[in-house]
Structures are given as C-alpha cells and as structure tokens.
C-alpha cells in the first residue's frame, strides 16, 4: 500500500508539472488555428480584390496570372511567418532561410530567370504584340509573332517554320517591328544600260509600279537613279503596301518592272568589262 501511494503521488506530481505546459501548448495551438483560418479568409478577400483590380487595368493575361500568384505567395509567407512567431520561432530566421533558398535557386536557374524577367519586361512595355512581323537583330530571326509566353516568344516565318526565341534575348537586343506603322515601303532596284533612254526607263518603271495591285491607293510612286555602276545605271523604285502585303507587293512589282522594260525595249545588261589593247606593247 505505501508503494502504491508513492506511485500515485509521483503520477500526480508529474501531471501537476506538465499541466501548465499542456495548457500553454493548447493555447498556442488554438491561437495557430485561429490565425490560420482568419488569415486564410483575409488572404482570399485580398486576392479577390487584387484580381478585380488587375482585370480593370487591362494588363496582359499572362501578367495578371503571374502577379496574382506572386501576391498569393507573399501573403501566405506572411501568414506562415506570423504563425511561427506565435509559437516562439523568430520570423527573421524564417526570412533568412527563404532568402538563402531563393539565392540558391536563382543561381541554379539564372538563364531561366533572365528569360522570365525578359518576358515580364516585354509584356509590360509591349514592343510587339501577337500578329506583328518582327526581326531580332542578334540572330536575324524574323517572322510573325504567334505567341508570347512568360519565358519564350514564338515566331512563324514566311516559309512556315516555327522559331522559339528566349525572352531574355529579345529584351536585351534591338529588334525591328515591321507592323507598327501598318505599312511598309517596297523597294525594287534594276540596272539599265548606259545607252538606254534614262527618262523613258524611269517613266516605264513608274507606270509599272503604279499598277501593282497590292500598292496602297494614292500612295506615292518614286523612281530615281540610285547609283552609276560599272556596267549599268541603277534605278530604284519605291511604293507603299500594307504590312501584311509586303511580300506579294515585292514579287508583283519585280515581275511587272521586268516585263515593262522588256516590252519597251530597254536593255538590262549583264556585268561587263571594256578591255583596251595598246599596239606595240608586249
């Protein structure tokens, strides 16, 4: 009996010593649950507000999705930091851990992050949009923009090839957008012989260019002497076409000029060289 009484006394003492800790942990767990559920509802309300605000801003859909998820991650990180502080864990240590992990991930995915940043810059500044015909100056890739994702831009070339370009490259090099102005200058050059009637050749060329079906109506037709070559007089003609009609206009103009010059009897010479022989010299 004395032994049983001693064991009961020890158990009672143990319960007396652990009860305050259990109560303390119980309050902490209750506080964590309250913070979690209240914080989650607040986060959902804030995210709905962010979503409505971005929809009113008319930003690109990709930017909206990306910004939504960034805000979502930041809010949940704040919630986790608050919960850790309740249980006595310093938020600064959590932030340092996240920062260290972010640095490691950033170094491992440096190229991808560069493309990501480039995609954000392109979507915000909008140097081009889907449907534009562009040429990037680094690799001379050109084509119609098919899609703009957060890391890559896809082009379709005139011969139906698909070109995928990292956004980091597009954001860090110059590019030419042929669709921004809505029209393009079509340039055709041809050489005529020095013996040909220059004024007649210019008139024939201007008439041929004026009849190109893809030319913008009432746009100017210009024909001028571009240079005096070794074997020919170089004539250049300019007309204007819609951006999407550039290649058809170029092909039609080139063919029309050749046929018109042939019909007018104006010779397009081959490269030639005059050789002078001096008698009496070996």
Q: How far apart are CA 256 and CA 27, in angstroms?
A: 89
- Structure token digits, residue 211: 């009849």
Total residue length of the chain: 282
Q: What is the pLDDT of residue 107?
A: 47
From the number of C-beta atoms within 10 Å of its C-beta (0-12, 13-18, 19+), residue 235 rates as: buried
Q: How far apart are CA 40 and CA 44, in angstroms?
A: 6
Residues 6 or more apart whose Cβ sits within 8 Å of residue 57: none
DSSP 3-state assignment of 39?
helix
Cα angle 144, 147, 152 (rounded to 5 degrees) comes to 105
Residue 229, pLDDT above cutoff 70: yes
Find, among 226, 190, 224, 188, the residue nearest to 209 by Cα. 188
Write the pLDDT tens digit of every residue in 165-175. 988 888 888 89
The percent helix, strand, coil of the chain (3-state, each to 5) is 55, 20, 25
Write the pLDDT tens digit of every residue in 63-109. 676 677 778 878 888 887 777 776 666 555 555 555 555 555 454 44
Q: Which residue has the higher pLDDT, 103 or 200?
A: 200
Q: What is the pLDDT of residue 265?
A: 92
Residue 118, pLDDT above cutoff 50: yes
Report the b/e string of 248-259 with b at 16+ CB within 10 A.
ebbebbbebbee
Provide mean pLDDT across the span 179-190.
92
| Phi and psi at residue 270, to the nearest 5° | -80, 160
Which strand ranges, in their side-by-side order, compose the sheet holding 152-156? 162-166, 152-156, 142-148, 133-136, 175-177
Q: How far apart are CA 262 and CA 205, in angstroms?
A: 11
Q: Which of 132-146, 244-258, 265-279 has the lowest mean pLDDT?
A: 265-279
Find, among 142, 154, 244, 228, the residue nearest to 191 by Cα. 228
Q: Which residue has the higher pLDDT, 269 or 109?
A: 269
Which DSSP category does 240 fall into? E
Residue 137, pLDDT above cutoff 60: yes
Going by pLDDT thresholds of 50, 70 and 90, the confidence category of residue 201 is very high
pTM (predicted TM-score): 0.59
Q: Which of 57-71, 181-195, 196-210, 238-252 has the lowest mean pLDDT?
A: 57-71
Q: What is the pLDDT of residue 221?
A: 95
Q: How far apart are CA 74 and CA 59, in angstroms?
A: 21
Are 267 and 204 a contacting pair, CB within 8 Å? Answer: no
Q: Which domains does the chain have, with CATH numbers?
A: 13-108 (1.10.287.1260), 128-177 (2.30.30.60), 183-263 (3.30.70.100)
Map 169-230 to HEC letters: HHHCCCEEECCCCCEEEEEEEEEECCCCCHHHHHHHHHHHHHCCCCECCCCCCEEEEEEECC
């Amino acid at each position: 009996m004395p032994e049983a009484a001693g064991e009961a006394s020890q158990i009672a003492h143990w319960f007396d010593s652990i009860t305050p800790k259990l109560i303390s942990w119980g309050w902490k767990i209750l506080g964590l649950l309250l913070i979690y559920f209240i914080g989650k509802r607040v986060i959902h309300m804030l995210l709905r507000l962010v979503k409505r605000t971005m929809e009113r801003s008319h930003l690109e859909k990709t930017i909206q999705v990306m910004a939504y998820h960034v805000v979502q991650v930041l809010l949940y990180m704040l919630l986790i930091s608050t919960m850790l502080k309740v249980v006595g864990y310093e938020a600064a240590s959590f932030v340092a851990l996240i920062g260290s992990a972010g640095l490691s991930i950033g170094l491992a995915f440096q190229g991808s992050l560069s493309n990501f940043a480039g995609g954000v810059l392109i979507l915000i500044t909008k140097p081009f949009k889907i449907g534009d015909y562009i040429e990037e100056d680094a690799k001379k890739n050109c084509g119609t923009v098919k899609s703009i994702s957060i890391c890559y831009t896809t082009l379709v070339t005139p011969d139906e090839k698909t070109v995928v370009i990292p956004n980091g490259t597009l954001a860090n090099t110059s590019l030419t957008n042929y669709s921004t102005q809505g029209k393009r200058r079509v340039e055709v050059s041809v050489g005529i012989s020095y013996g040909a009637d220059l004024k007649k050749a210019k008139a024939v060329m201007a008439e041929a260019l004026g009849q190109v079906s893809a030319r913008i109506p009432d746009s100017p037709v210009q024909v001028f002497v571009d240079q005096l070559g070794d074997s020919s007089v170089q004539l250049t003609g300019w007309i204007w076409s819609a951006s999407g009609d550039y290649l058809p206009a170029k092909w039609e103009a080139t063919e029309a000029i050749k046929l018109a010059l042939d019909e007018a009897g104006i010779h397009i010479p081959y490269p030639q060289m005059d050789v002078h022989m001096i008698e009496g010299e070996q």
